[in-house]
Amino acid sequence: MDTYSAVKNRLLYLCEQKRFTINKLATESGIAPSTVKNILYGKSKNPGIVTLKMLCDGLGISLNEFFCEEIFHTLEQEIK
pLDDT per residue as tens digits for the range 30-62: 999 999 999 999 898 899 999 999 999 999 999
Q: Max CA-CA distance within the chain?
A: 37
**Euclidean distance between CA atoms 9 and 11, whole angstroms:** 5
**Euclidean distance between CA atoms 37 and 46, whole angstroms:** 13
Domain count, the chain: 1
Range of the domain at 23: 3-72
pLDDT per residue as tens digits for the range 63-77: 999 999 999 998 888
Domain of 29: which CATH number? 1.10.260.40
Domain contains 61:
yes
**Euclidean distance between CA atoms 71 and 75, whole angstroms:** 7
**Higher-pLDDT residue of 24, 80:** 24
Domain contains 77:
no
Domain contains 53:
yes
Domain contains 57:
yes
